[in-house]
């Protein structure tokens, strides 16, 4: 696991296998995934350990992540396969721990798992 934004969080894994365009897909006030074609459609991101391939699309998605945090509906941490600037900097401003995981770490994470993430210490544990 490689740290992008330092921090520690506990929560339930919300697993997506599709990139997330934070500007286009996520309601910035509720954290609800509005895109009907996305595998997380209708889910709320609040408090989750959000595990997904990477962010996509508009650079303004970083503001969406900050807005989710301001509204108290942001994920507790984000774990991606690959780093992109929209997600990394959105998490940096919002203070959300974020890391890029290895393939085997990604394979270990299943939706519904309760996990502990500490991106500073490089800890990722299924509890």
Binding site for another protein (CB under 8 A): 2-5, 19, 21, 23-25, 28-29, 34-35, 37, 54-64, 66-67, 70-71, 82-93, 98, 100
The residues near 93 (Cβ < 8 Å, ≥ 6 apart) are 62, 65, 66
If the CB atoms of residues 3 and 44 are measured against another protein, the closer one turns out to be: 3
Q: Which one of the listed residues 16, 37, 48, 58 is annotated catalytic?
A: 58
Give how far Cα 66 sits from Cα of 7, 46, 63, 92, Å. Answer: 16, 13, 5, 9
Pick 48 or 67: Cβ nearer another protein? 67
**Is 56 an annotated catalytic residue?**
no
Backbone angles phi, psi at 55, to 5 degrees: -80, 160
Active-site residue list: 58
């Amino acid at each position: 696991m490689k740290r992008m934004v330092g921090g520690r969080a506990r929560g339930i894994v919300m697993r997506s296998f599709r990139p997330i365009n934070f500007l286009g897909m996520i309601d910035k006030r509720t954290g609800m995934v509005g895109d009907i074609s996305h595998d997380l459609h209708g889910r709320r991101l609040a408090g989750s350990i959000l595990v997904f391939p990477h962010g996509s699309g508009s650079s303004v998605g970083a503001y969406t992540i900050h807005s989710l945090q301001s509204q108290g509906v942001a994920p507790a941490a984000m774990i991606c396969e690959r780093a992109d600037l929209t997600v990394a900097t959105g998490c940096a401003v919002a203070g959300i721990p974020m890391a890029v995981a290895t393939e085997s770490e990604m394979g270990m994470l299943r939706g519904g798992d309760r996990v502990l993430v500490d991106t500073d210490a490089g800890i990722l544990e299924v509890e």
